[in-house]
Structure 1
Amino acid sequence: MKVMVGGTFDPLHDGHKQLLGRSFEIAGADGQVTIGLTTDTFASRKVHPIRPFQVRKTELEVFITSSRFPARWQIEPLIDRYGPAIDADFDAIVVSEETIPVAVEINKLRRQKGAKKVDIHQISCVLAEDGRWISSTRIYRGEIDIHGHILH
Structure 2
Amino acid sequence: MRVAVGGTFQPLHDGHKALLRKAYELSRDVDIGLTSDEMAARGRVRPVKSYQEREKALRDWIIKEIGVEPRIFKINDPYGPTLTEDYDYIVVSPETYPTALKINELRKARGKRPIEIYRVECVLAEDGKPISATRIVRGEIDVHGNLLRRRGE
User: What interval of TM-score do these two structures reach, taking the shorter chain for normalisation?
Assistant: over 0.9
Map of 1:41 onto structure 2: 38
Do the aligned residues in 1 keep the contact of 2:107 with 2:113 (CA within 8 Å)? yes
Map of 1:9 onto structure 2: 9
Regions of 4+ moved over 2 Å: none
Q: Could you tell me how far apart the structure 2 residues matched to 1:78 and 1:37 are?
A: 6
1:36–1:78 Cα change, 3 Å: same
Matched, 1:122 2:110: no
Per-residue CA shift, 1:98-142, capped at 9, x if unaligned? 110000000000000011111000010000011111000100000
Q: Could you tell me how far apart the structure 2 residues matched to 1:110 and 1:81 are?
A: 14
Map of 2:57 onto structure 1: 59
Identity rate of aligned residues, in percent?
49
For residues 70-81 of structure 1, the aligned pairs below 5 Å read 73-81=70-78
CA offset at residue 68 of structure 1?
A: 3.2
Q: CA RMSD in A?
A: 1.1
Q: Partner of 1:54: helix, strand, or coil? A: helix
Structure 2 segments unaligned to the other structure (5+ residues): none
Map of 2:25 onto structure 1: 25
Q: Could you tell me how far apart the structure 1 residues matched to 2:136 and 2:46 are?
A: 10
Structure 1 segments unaligned to the other structure (5+ residues): none
Q: Work out the number of aligned pairs and report it.
A: 148
CA offset at residue 69 of structure 1?
A: 4.1
